[in-house]
Chain A
Amino acid sequence: MDIQEVVSDRVGSRGDAAAPPLALEVEHLSFSYSERRALDDVTFAVKAGEIFGFLGPNGGGKTTLFRILSTLAASASGTARVFGHDLAGNTMAVRRRLGVVFQHPSLDQKLTVAENLAHHGRLFGITGTRLHERSRLMLERLSLTDRANDVVETLSGGLKRRVELAKAMLHEPELLILDEPSTGLDPAARREFHSALAELRAANRVTIVLTTHDMEEAGQCDRIAILHRGRMVAIGAPGELKARVGGDVIVIRAAAPETFSRKLAERFSVSGTIVDGTVRVEHPRGHALVAEMVDALGGEIDSVTFGKPTLEDVFIHLTGDRFFAGAPDSAS
């Protein structure tokens, strides 16, 4: 450890001892690609030990945010601090504390699992017995021990993702960031990956920040922030956010959604919004409304779905946009 780092470590641990340290503090972060503003004045903080998710459709700004946090995108305006270390000013100190799992594979396909881990460890200055010990432990935690000598290109997608996780955790990062970690995994591999992540978190006390467009994955986070067109539109625990939607959510598929919406307003004085060709109503007593509605307007209804609000409903409620809007998603 060099002197500069010792000094910055002290500076980093400022503040009163009682408050739990912040793993990540982001203030007024903005980023533009030549013309398009990809991230617009985003401010949030993640407490140590949290699992924090960024939920948003593709193009919402998640990947840009991830690139900035991973220290790979320069020239963002605003500040970001990882455990008190400024991302732009003290990049090396941040990198030592950061584990990164990219959306695209970062493993050498021609090397074995063990060789990939060893290479990664040495890049972080870890050698000898400690490297051996850390590799062994990570392989064990992620149930990869019997795969240690397999060449990566021969592994399945789910296994490769677990190796990525083992690699990212090898140097004992305090903050683990993951970009769309479950994209491209089948449901079984996704479940395995999530349980591996939960185990790692319990064993290593690591803070986890991930981006996702998967509602289920977002629902498993302690807190989430919703990104829409580069802006953060909400932040909170999934349950809290769902509670912001007024009661139940009813979605009616009708041949003429506009007419149907007008009739709803006239007869029941509820306002529906039209999202993606369906009429969407939020109502505190949804079940009663559904019954009355089917009685009165049954002939015009193709189908009705009714339920407690999901995170997708939260997104629609907040933005008036459907979640999977726009161009078909090529990344997933």
Chain B
Amino acid sequence: MSIVPVQAATLWWREITRFRRQRSVIIGSLVQPLIFWVLIGWGFRASFKPSGMPAGIDYVQYFYPGVIMLVLLFTAIFATIQTVEDRQAGFLQGVLVAPISRATVILGQALGGTTLALAQGLIFLALAPLAGIALSLSAIVTTAMMMALIAFALTSIGLTIAWRIESTRGFHLIMNSILVPIWFLSGAFFPANGAPSWLAWVMRINPLTYQMAALRKGLYLAYPAAAIGALPPFSLSIPVSIGFAIVAFAVASRVASRTSAV
């Protein structure tokens, strides 16, 4: 008996196989964040200095981990849209008559989305030198682990929505009006300690803030603390990120179990 049951592993395998055969999706979920980074990062570099940003870091560098988070978010969204399409195409009904629990189905789907997001995130991580960020092996490993943790949570959130929603259009709407603003307020775009206090409070209760902090710290592992700015420490950000991933998965499993079917 392996850690992941074969029933979940095969759902994971199927997501990966499908994704590999759809080149446009691979490129799409990389290009959009890349454009964001280039246009916003370099565009704002000279003029945009949010207060609270650590000294010695320019905006391209500051924004870079935020864009990695966006890559994870977009890939997670793409991967979970698959669930909506699976239901429309009829594929899901064949899965649901198999003798497995809905939690197993969610586990397979979430691991599939996580793997895809992690792969895309790693591709993007190769661009770190362009941002002027020197990477050590330990920084890469830490960042990769953080990316997997974040991707699992984001995919689980995506699945929760995907199991409840009828159409892909509705799915896009919800993702854009909920997840993108949450990303915006995670410290990806500007640091919390320069923001007005009400906004800083919103950011403080935003679980993505802790994921963002863990990712940023991992990426700047070799750098002195002063270069990162004031962020929640690993001892807070990692437990919160793990807890959030578990809760997100539990919610997705519960929603899937209660959704009567096709």
Contacts and interface: CB of A to CB of B under 8 A. Distances in A.
A154 interface: no
A104 B88 CA distance: 10
Interface stretch (A69-77, A215-223, A237-245): A69-77
B98 interface: yes
A134 interface: no
B126 interface: no
A117 B141 CA distance: 37
Interface residues of A, number: 32
A122 B97 contact: no
Contacts, number: 74
A166 to B, nearest CB: 13
B30 to A, nearest CB: 20
B97 A105 contact: no
Given A72-B262, A122-B9, A110 B22 contact: yes
Interface stretch (A37-45, A92-100, A284-292, A299-307): A92-100
A116 B11 CA distance: 11
Contact of B260 (A74, A92, A107): A74
Contact of B89 (A96, A109, A120): A109
A127 interface: yes
Nearest to B10: A122
A125 interface: yes
A96 B91 contact: no
B6 A110 contact: no
B93 A119 contact: no
Interface in B22-45: 22
Given A102-B90, A106-B90, A115 B17 contact: yes
A111 B94 contact: no
A123 interface: yes
Interface string B154-165: 000000000000
B10 A92 contact: no
Interface string A109-143: 11100010011101111010000000000000000
A104 B97 contact: no
B100 interface: yes
A276 interface: no
A123 B98 contact: yes
Nearest to A94: B99
Contact of B99 (A92, A109, A111): A92
Contacts of A123: 7, 10-11, 95, 98, 100
A167 interface: yes
Interface string B190-210: 000000000000000000000
Contact of B97 (A93, A95, A109, A115): A95
Nearest to B261: A72
A104 B100 CA distance: 22
A237 to B, nearest CB: 29
Interface of A: 67, 70-75, 92-93, 95-96, 98, 100, 102, 104-111, 115, 118-120, 122-125, 127, 167
Q: Which 6 A-B pairs give the minimum distances between C-beta atoms? A: A106-B94, A122-B10, A123-B98, A95-B99, A104-B90, A72-B261
Interface of B: 6-7, 9-11, 13-14, 17-18, 21-22, 89-91, 93-100, 260-262
